[in-house]
Amino acid sequence: MAPSTLSRVTKALLAPALALGATVGLASAPAHAAVWHSCDQWGNTGLNGYTLYNNIWGSGAGSQCIWANSGTDWGVWANHPDTGGIKSYPNAKKVINKPIASIGSLTSSYNVTVPSSGAYNTSYDIWDTDYDYEIMLWVNDNGAVGPLGTAQGTVSLGGHTWNVYKGSNGHNEVFSFLRTSDSTSGTVNILPILKWIKDTKGWMGNETIGDVQFGYEITSSAGGLDFRTNSLTVSGG
């Protein structure tokens, strides 16, 4: 999350209308026929219990297309200019809708292929149902990107070691966990992270967790870059 990040609720109100050509979508889909693809700014679909969302929300964005073989096997081609500010967060979402204290387990596994250029992070974005709290888990990042807020130290939780940041964008509280070394595959035990925020730090109460999203927060990808989610699972709740 860059310092200019706003709540996903308000991002839709700020995004410009984008003219995305149909030929771009054909060129950027995978070589084999995808089950679904879209170059629409807000293109979305439901597959296998997940919602896929193209989600081009930032000002100054370029073109972007999303494709999917399933809800857990999908990718994005993005061509956003080399300027500051987040342009998009294409993602797959799983809905939980349970209070933290009622969640017995919540884990996720990921395997991605990401470019060596551009500015982006690969991250989970976890929301309560009222959109008062946003928990971001960065598993890798590249280029000139950084979290919102101030550093809160380092903690080992959920099978990873994270640098923690806490802040507010004026609309919601944001807790960002940045993995201390980049990873393109792994498993995250999300529940201990939520309990650490709630019980150990007291930064939020027994919030009802709504969405667990996983995707790519893209600031720049000039010339067109591919982001591939080879596999993703969100289990429990």
Mean pLDDT of 45-69: 98
Taking the C-alpha atoms of residue 125 and residue 210, their distance in angstroms, rounded to an integer, is 11
| Confidence bin at 237 (pLDDT 50/70/90) | confident
Which pLDDT score, from 0 to 100, does residue 32 have? 55
Which pLDDT score, from 0 to 100, does residue 27 have? 44
Mean pLDDT of 203-222: 98
| Confidence bin at 19 (pLDDT 50/70/90) | very low
Which pLDDT score, from 0 to 100, does residue 4 have? 38
Which token pair is 231?
């596999």
Q: Where are the beta strands (DSSP E) in 48-159?
A: 50-53, 63-70, 73-79, 91-99, 106-113, 119-128, 133-142, 150-157
Mean pLDDT of 7-24: 38
Q: Which of 148, 125, 113 lies closest to 3, judged by CA?
A: 148
Residue corresponding to tokens 């860059």: 2
| The Cα angle at residue 180 between residues 179 and 185, in degrees rounded to 5 | 50
Question: Which pLDDT tens digit goes with each residue over 89-107?
Answer: 999 999 999 999 999 999 9
Q: Which of 74, 7, 83, 24 lies closest to 46, judged by CA?
A: 74
Name the class of domain 8-236: mainly beta
Taking the C-alpha atoms of residue 68 and residue 84, their distance in angstroms, rounded to an integer, is 28
Question: Which pLDDT tens digit goes with each residue over 156-212?
Answer: 999 999 999 999 999 999 999 999 999 999 999 999 999 999 999 999 999 999 999
Taking the C-alpha atoms of residue 120 and residue 182, their distance in angstroms, rounded to an integer, is 12
Report the share of the chain in percent with pLDDT over 70: 86
- The pLDDT mean for the chain works out to 90
Report the share of the chain in percent with pLDDT over 90: 85
Taking the C-alpha atoms of residue 73 and residue 142, their distance in angstroms, rounded to an integer, is 22
Encoded amino acid at 135, one letter: I
First-residue to last-residue Cα distance in the chain: 25
Mean pLDDT of 101-127: 98
Strands 91-99 and 63-70: unpaired
Encoded amino acid at 7, one letter: S
Mean pLDDT of 75-99: 98
18, pLDDT greater than 80:
no
78, pLDDT greater than 70:
yes
